[in-house]
Structure 1
Amino acid sequence: MASSILPACVSREFSCWATRKTSPVTVWLRALARQMHGECGGPGVGAVGMCFTGGFALAMMVDDVLLAPVLSQPSLPFALSKRHKRDLGISDEDLAQVKARCAAEPELRLLGLRFSNDRLSPPERFQHLKEELGDSFVAVEIDSSPGNEWGNRKAAHSVLTEDLKDEPGHPTKDALDQVLALFREKLLTN
């Protein structure tokens, strides 16, 4: 049974990206965030989307319980064309809600992380986020050009996991510290 359900679920997700719709899984993630917030309390919740799930935190911003969204190397939709490189992976309606929320809550920030040469997470996507969200989008782009001073490999992709260098002063460690600072600022109560 699992062998027939998994392809259907994956197919459904890819159909969403092809048709500029928000992934159905984000509806479930929003409900989970609301439930956890209700059970645990506090000001709100945070979410980190990485790689294939990178854009989920953006789509979750529709719900005002999400206070600390992070997109780390958002890779879907795949950057197969100029349009896909800029595609944010959410519906126009959800994007309009996110923009309205950012306008109404000037302190709300969406943190985005990527390596400069990451072909899976194209720079056009971050540029599009900046165009849509203005100062509400904070882009952290880490140098992965050949011969960069940090020793990041050209194919570096995973800012917070595989390619993280947990060394003071390294840009990936600084990016991790920014994520943790965002969570502390938005989610911890005094």
Structure 2
Amino acid sequence: MPHRDLNQDDDLADFSHREISALGQPKTVYVSGSGPAVVIMAEMPGISPHVARFARWVRDAGFTVYMPSLFGRDGAVPSADEGAAVFRRTCTSMEFRALGGGAASPVTSWLRALARIALDECGGSGVGAIGMCFTGNFALSMMLDQATIAPVLCQPSLPLDNPAGIEISAEEISTIRQRLDRENLDVLAYRFEGDHFCKAERFAAYRKALGEHFIERVLPDSAAGQDVPPFFEKHVRSPHSVVTVHLIDEQGQPTLAARDEIIAFLKGKLKTK
């Protein structure tokens, strides 16, 4: 993959810019690659160059990436203030449930429909789903539909007001647990030890709800990169983004190993070589 400056806006020119209508609601989705489908949902404040880099890694490993535009300016490196404004708008949007927990964000219904479209287009045994930060738990909620079989939760941060909360109803997570047991599926999850937005209490709640199917990875804070964009420098003061902003792209680094483990997980579940 060619080197790109992560401090400059990314035009996403190597992705098809598609308008995909699901449940009667059109959204821009960036699609690239071939092979089984993987839906990648961006972290706050949007599809940044770091998120796009991760999507390209997944694509180049043999997958078709579907990256929906859910908030923010696509491909941008926003200022700290612009990123904060995106955060505030998203928190008050009808599509998202940032506070309170106990129920999934409404946008997850659209994402499940996108997964069905992706499965129809790409074929295979199922779809992978990777959520990050604000969208972290969306990958789990997508398992309410049979299309998604390989969910990855990177630093799931909702609900913001309850460190031990899970952004899903008790009935929904019970349904997912039954599916995990029945189909012998797993949920892969990552966080940094000192993350202020995804704390140990949240992973404990997932562990209690999902049992042995919840495969958790907790990275030391020392594994996080320090060269971060303005929004993170001002508003995200702890190690947070395992496979994007805080990833160190050097062999032997725990964050790069996490990226490789995610790709191996997808290959194993989606049965690629």
Cα distance, 1:188 vs. partner? 3.5
Equivalent-residue separation in structure 2 for 1:160 and 1:25 (angstroms):
23
Identify the structure with bigger relative contact order (alpha carbons < 8 Å, sequence gap 6+).
Answer: 1
1:75 to 157, 162, 167: 157
C-alpha change, 1:8 and 1:89, in structure 2 (3 Å) is closer
1:64 to 139, 146, 151: 146
Q: Which secondary structure does the structure 2 equivalent of 1:49 belong to?
A: strand
Matched, 1:88 2:151: no
Equivalent-residue separation in structure 2 for 1:46 and 1:9 (angstroms):
26
Q: Which secondary structure does the structure 2 equivalent of 1:169 belong to?
A: coil
Query: What residue in structure 2 maps to residue 133 of structure 1?
Result: 210
Range 44-53 or range 17-26, more displaced: 17-26
Q: Which secondary structure does the structure 1 equivalent of 2:211 belong to?
A: helix
- Structure 1 runs of 4+ with >2 Å offset: 6-19, 150-154
C-alpha change, 1:56 and 1:142, in structure 2 (3 Å) is same
Query: What residue in structure 1 maps to residue 201 of structure 2?
Result: 124
Cα distance, 1:152 vs. partner? 5.2
- Show structure 1 runs of 5+ residues with no match: 1-5
Matched, 1:163 2:246: yes
Equivalent-residue separation in structure 2 for 1:167 and 1:117 (angstroms):
22
Q: Deviations over 1:132-174 (max 9, x none)?
A: 1111001010001xxx4x4656821110101101222211111
Matched, 1:50 2:132: yes
Q: Deviations over 1:21-44 (max 9, x none)?
A: 211110110011011101110111
* Identical residues among aligned pairs (%): 43
Cα distance, 1:47 vs. partner? 0.7
C-alpha change, 1:9 and 1:115, in structure 2 (3 Å) is closer
Q: Deviations over 1:72-123 (max 9, x none)?
A: 0111111x3xxx11111011121111111111122x1101011000011111
Equivalent-residue separation in structure 2 for 1:124 and 1:9 (angstroms):
22
TM-score, normalised via structure 2 length? 0.60
Query: What residue in structure 1 maps to residue 181 of structure 2?
Result: 103
Q: Larger % of strand: which?
A: 2
Query: What residue in structure 1 maps to residue 189 of structure 2?
Result: 112
Equivalent-residue separation in structure 1 for 2:194 and 2:132 (angstroms):
17
Write the letter of the residue equivalent to 1:119: H
TM-score, normalised via structure 1 length? 0.84
Whether the 8 Å CA contact 1:16–1:22 is kept in 2: the answer is no
Whether the 8 Å CA contact 1:17–1:23 is kept in 2: the answer is no
Write the letter of the residue equivalent to 2:201: E
Cα distance, 1:189 vs. partner? 4.4
Equivalent-residue separation in structure 2 for 1:151 and 1:23 (angstroms):
29
Query: What residue in structure 2 maps to residue 175 of structure 1?
Result: 258
Whether the 8 Å CA contact 1:43–1:189 is kept in 2: the answer is no
Equivalent-residue separation in structure 1 for 2:224 and 2:92 (angstroms):
35
Range 55-64 or range 14-23, more displaced: 14-23
